[in-house]
């Protein structure tokens, strides 16, 4: 009999952002990526696609939990006109950078969670890596969702990658591979859906409009 995976609850996921002193802008980005990823996973599930929505939710929440490990310009910079990190957060992540030198966010997350949530930790190590040539569907959906969210906005892959090119110093070869991977994942995901990549933001907005309408009708009936 297969043992069920151990995963954190949604509240536990959010609690880790406090424990690891994650700046609010990164928390908000992770929450939006989680919203997009879960939306896509739910649409795939509706078409009887074998995808674990709970796993997608946790993976999306944690995909940038340790993002500060690769940030060198703490505080105000050309991408953030106001400081988005407190002195306490800056001190915490400077110590983490000393503890995990030359590590990417997924590698740090793996070290933090490998004993508690081994399956999740393994995917965290791979989800954003350009070397992950055989992602699971959960990893693919989260990686793609991340490439559709800039800050808290749903944007095109092209716009998101253009921002990442400016923000992080990698070779042109790596960025080209990211772009190609994103395009391949987009085609694979949307070949199973009834709407196009350009309609993603609108479809998500429509979902929440419908939920709010149902909630309002229910409240009126009470």
Q: What is the pLDDT of residue 82?
A: 59
Residue 160 CB partners (closer than 8 Å, separation 6+): 147, 148, 149, 150
How would you classify the pairing of strands 153-154 and 149-150?
A: antiparallel
Q: What is the 3-state secondary structure (H, E, C) of 13-68?
A: HHHHHHHCCCCHHHHHHHHHHHHHHHHHHHHHHHCCCCCCHHHHHHHHHHCCCCHH
Based on C-alpha coordinates, what's the Rg of the chain?
A: 18
Residue 83 CB partners (closer than 8 Å, separation 6+): 75, 76
CA torsion 120→122→124→128, rounded to 10°?
Answer: -140
Q: Which two tokens stand for residue 52?
A: 């674990």
Give the burial string for 57-83 (b: 16+ CB within 10 Å, else e): bbbbbbbbbbbbbebeebeeeeeeeee
> How many angstroms separate the most distant Cα atoms in the chain?
59
For the whole model, what pTM was predicted?
0.89
Q: What is the pLDDT of residue 131?
A: 81
Residue 183 CB partners (closer than 8 Å, separation 6+): 157
Q: What is the pLDDT of residue 177?
A: 80
The correct answer on CATH 3.30.420 for the domain covering 10-197 is: no
Q: Which two tokens stand for residue 204?
A: 């998500």
Condensed to tens digits (0 to 9), the pLDDT of residues 73-124 reads: 776 556 665 557 899 999 999 999 999 999 999 999 999 999 999 999 999 9
Low-confidence ranges of the chain (pLDDT < 70): 1-3, 75-83, 208-222
Q: Which two tokens stand for residue 44?
A: 């795939």
| Gap between the Cα atoms of 159 and 180, Å rounded | 14
Q: What is the pLDDT of residue 217?
A: 47
Dihedral of alpha carbons 152, 157, 160, 164, sign: positive
């Amino acid at each position: 009999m297969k043992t069920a995976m151990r995963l954190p609850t949604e509240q536990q996921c959010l609690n880790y952002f406090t424990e690891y002193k994650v700046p609010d802008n990164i928390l908000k980005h992770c929450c939006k990526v989680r919203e997009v990823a879960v939306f896509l996973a739910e649409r795939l599930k509706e078409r009887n696609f074998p995808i674990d929505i709970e796993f997608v939710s946790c993976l999306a929440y944690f995909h940038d939990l340790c993002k500060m490990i690769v940030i060198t310009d703490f505080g105000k910079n050309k991408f953030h006109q106001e400081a988005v990190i407190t002195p306490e957060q800056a001190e915490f992540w400077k110590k983490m950078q000393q503890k995990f030198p030359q590590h990417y966010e997924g590698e740090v997350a793996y070290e933090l969670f490998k004993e508690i949530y081994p399956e999740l930790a393994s995917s965290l190590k791979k989800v954003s890596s350009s070397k992950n040539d055989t992602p699971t569907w959960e990893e693919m959906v989260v990686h793609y969702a991340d490439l559709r969210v800039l800050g808290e906005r749903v944007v095109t892959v092209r716009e998101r990658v253009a921002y990442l090119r400016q923000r992080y110093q990698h070779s042109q070869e790596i960025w080209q591979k990211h772009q190609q991977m994103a395009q391949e994942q987009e085609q694979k995901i949307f070949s199973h859906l009834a709407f196009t990549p350009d309609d993603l933001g609108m479809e998500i907005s429509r979902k929440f409009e419908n939920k709010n309408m149902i909630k309002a009708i229910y409240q009126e009936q009470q």
